Structure 1
Amino acid sequence: MIVVTAAAGKTGTAVVRALRARGEDVRAVVAGRRPRPELTALGAEVVHTDLSVPAGWETVLDGADAFHLIWPNFDAEEQDGAPALFAQARRAGVPRVVYHSVLRPQLRAMPHHAAKDAVEEALDGSGVRWRVLQPCAYADNLDDQLPEVERTGELRSHWGLLTGQSLVDLRDVADAAVALLTEDGLDGGTFEAVGPQALTAEQIADEMGRQLGREVTAVDVVPQGPVPQGYVSRCARTMYDHYRYHGFTGSPRVLTDLLGRPPRTYAEHLADVLGARAVQVLPDEPDDPVERTLTRLRDARAAGRG
């Protein structure tokens, strides 16, 4: 049985789905008390527990063969909370811990990267057998913009127009997580999950235009004012500032080896999300192209494709 935290989030749900597709038993840890039908429909055991409260984790980790710690994005409690859960995993005797980090956590200009760097250091001294997954920015992060892009012909880029990003499909990240959670011989390894191409916003806009059948232009959304002081806003601003000046790229070699195949390109990701491969408008789909795109995005997510 494998424990996955933040399981109701985009990353956690993708990992749960990938594990269940391989026939693994999953205990999905979520915050709050509301039902999570999307997880129970996958056949996961849903447990409601706060990541920042160590009490009760003996039960959560009881009988676990592996523990995948995903911390919610831009959460100031991660640097202290994650090491506390590593200690719980050691006491519970969990034989394998996978920490969901980020590509190049040593980039201390970004507070959320610095926090993950500190967590990785704590993990190394935690006394558990560990592996670290370091994904690049997700191709999926642009999906919500697609209806507006189709309507206006503009892709709004908060990271400028000149630098590239090696966008990675979240499904590939989830499959890499499955490998780290289930395969032998990987202890003590740090594994980058990077897409196969370094694309600028203009190149991404060109691909969107090709698949949407209209001209799409990348528009530079230049930040205004000083860096905000609130933790979440500061994380987002410093992240986009770094991307604007330095990009966020890496090598797909490690991910290729983990998957046993090349990772998906952005064009492949976009084609899957839009249903562009030989998909016609169905009788019950809206005639309006923007509403049709929204419908297809919802259907793709429900089917586990986006």
Structure 2
Amino acid sequence: MTQTDTTSAQEPVLVIGGTGKTGRRVVARLRERGVETRAASRSGDTLFDWADLTTWAAALDGVATVYITPLDTTPSPTPAFVEQAVAGGVRRLVLLSARGTDVPGFFGPGYEDGGPHGEGERAVRASGVTWTILRPGWFAQNFSEGVFLDAVLAGELALPTGDGKAAFVDADDIAEVAVAALTEDGHAGQEYGLSGPRALGMDEVLDEIAKETGKRAAYVRVDTDAFRAGLVAQGFEDVEAGLWTDALRPITTSAEAPVLDGVRRALGREPRDFAAFVRDAAARGAWG
């Protein structure tokens, strides 16, 4: 795939969510390529707040290419952002969506029509500019720097996922696909489903971590209703607790288990294995 001139110094790439799991990796790779990049977030070098529309215009000023890490709320602010971006001269959009957004019932009733990700996808497709959609499954990094880390460190991971499996995807693979779509030809109109190369259950995940760390957290299977009630007891709004529980459903049903070909189609190589992710994360001290 060949490099294009859309990422010239005169037209920086805007990375919405530039300090997040995928965003900061996208920023790092773009800057390694010498691409002028704006890391946009509430704490990034470019101020951007989804809830504060007054921050959007300055972030978009002079930009032709944007990577969008959306806000997972309903209604989604992504359609309004896309409209403003295109009106301001943006010509290429790469949207971080989610696996299953195009599959009815994938997440359950809390995500009808793909939920906020579906809203974002429809806006990007209708934008009239070059677009690429990334649909990753559950991130491997959720165990090393995300929602499951504290439980793993505490020695007990309690989830309503039963014996379900998922082909967890490495966030570094997501970032590499995003950078290719932002800077190269050949990705226009593509929808990339992104996964790892094999499916693992939670017990297998914890086994892989234990191989590198010598410490194994216990996986505790809990009832869905009890899990949701526990979230509410922790302070979650009932709607939030329901969405979070629905988000785990594709692991419970093993809908996340099939291996997808997006990494291979976009990059010409196989995705990184979970064991390789664990080795790297352990070497960086993710689990102490």
Give the TM bin, normalised by the shorter chain: 0.7 to 0.9
- Residue number in structure 1 paired with 2:7: none
- Residue number in structure 2 paired with 1:93: 89
Residue 133 of structure 1 and its aligned partner are, at CA, apart by 0.8
Q: Deviations over 1:29-66 (max 9, x none)?
A: 112xxxx4xx5xxxxxx221322444453432222231
- Residue number in structure 1 paired with 2:36: 25
Matches within 5 A, 1:248-267: 248-267=256-275
- Tell me how far apart the structure 2 counterparts of residues 53 and 170 of structure 1 sit (CA, whole Å): 27
Q: TM-score, normalised by structure 1?
A: 0.76
SS state at 1:3 partner: strand
- Residue number in structure 2 paired with 1:66: 65
- Residue number in structure 1 paired with 2:137: 136
- Residue number in structure 1 paired with 2:178: 177
What amino acid does structure 1 have at the position aligned with 2:91?
P
Residue 147 of structure 1 and its aligned partner are, at CA, apart by 7.3
Larger radius of gyration: 1
> Contact 2:213–2:287 at 8 Å: present in 1 too?
no
- Residue number in structure 2 paired with 1:287: none
- Tell me how far apart the structure 1 counterparts of residues 166 and 268 of structure 2 sit (CA, whole Å): 23
Residue 298 of structure 1 and its aligned partner are, at CA, apart by 8.5
Task: Label 1:296 to 1:256 Cα distance change in 2 as closer, same or farther (>3 A).
Answer: same
- Tell me how far apart the structure 1 counterparts of residues 200 and 286 of structure 2 sit (CA, whole Å): 22
- Residue number in structure 2 paired with 1:200: 201
User: For structure 1, which segment, 142-151 or 89-98, has the greater mean C-alpha deviation from structure 2 after superposition?
Assistant: 142-151
**Percent of pairs with identical residues:** 26
Matches within 5 A, 1:93-242: 93-106=89-102, 107=106, 109=108, 111=110, 113-144=114-145, 149=152, 152=155, 154=156, 156-213=157-214, 217-225=218-226, 230-242=238-250
- Tell me how far apart the structure 2 counterparts of residues 197 and 63 of structure 1 sit (CA, whole Å): 42
> Contact 1:150–1:212 at 8 Å: present in 2 too?
no
> Contact 1:4–1:28 at 8 Å: present in 2 too?
yes
What amino acid does structure 2 have at the position aligned with 1:50?
D
Residue 160 of structure 1 and its aligned partner are, at CA, apart by 2.5
- Tell me how far apart the structure 2 counterparts of residues 213 and 108 of structure 1 sit (CA, whole Å): 34
- Tell me how far apart the structure 2 counterparts of residues 176 and 149 of structure 1 sit (CA, whole Å): 29
Q: Unpaired runs of 5+ in structure 2?
A: 1-11
> Contact 2:100–2:107 at 8 Å: present in 1 too?
no
> Contact 1:164–1:201 at 8 Å: present in 2 too?
yes
> Contact 1:161–1:202 at 8 Å: present in 2 too?
no
Residue 251 of structure 1 and its aligned partner are, at CA, apart by 2.7
Residue 214 of structure 1 and its aligned partner are, at CA, apart by 5.0
> Contact 2:49–2:56 at 8 Å: present in 1 too?
no
Residue 77 of structure 1 and its aligned partner are, at CA, apart by 4.3
- Residue number in structure 2 paired with 1:2: 13
- Tell me how far apart the structure 1 counterparts of residues 26 and 164 of structure 2 sit (CA, whole Å): 29
SS state at 1:203 partner: helix
Residue 8 of structure 1 and its aligned partner are, at CA, apart by 2.4
Residue 18 of structure 1 and its aligned partner are, at CA, apart by 2.1
- Residue number in structure 1 paired with 2:56: 57
Residue 201 of structure 1 and its aligned partner are, at CA, apart by 1.1
SS state at 2:224 partner: coil
User: For structure 1, which segment, 178-187 or 227-236, has the greater mean C-alpha deviation from structure 2 after superposition?
Assistant: 227-236
What amino acid does structure 2 have at the position aligned with 1:5?
I
Q: TM-score, normalised by structure 2?
A: 0.80
SS state at 1:104 partner: coil
Higher relative contact order (CA 8 A, sep 6+): 2
Q: Unpaired runs of 5+ in structure 1?
A: 40-45, 276-294, 300-306
SS state at 2:225 partner: coil
Residue 296 of structure 1 and its aligned partner are, at CA, apart by 1.6
- Tell me how far apart the structure 2 counterparts of residues 150 and 111 of structure 1 sit (CA, whole Å): 30
> Contact 1:52–1:77 at 8 Å: present in 2 too?
no
Residue 14 of structure 1 and its aligned partner are, at CA, apart by 2.0
Residue 141 of structure 1 and its aligned partner are, at CA, apart by 0.2
- Tell me how far apart the structure 1 counterparts of residues 25 and 96 of structure 2 sit (CA, whole Å): 13
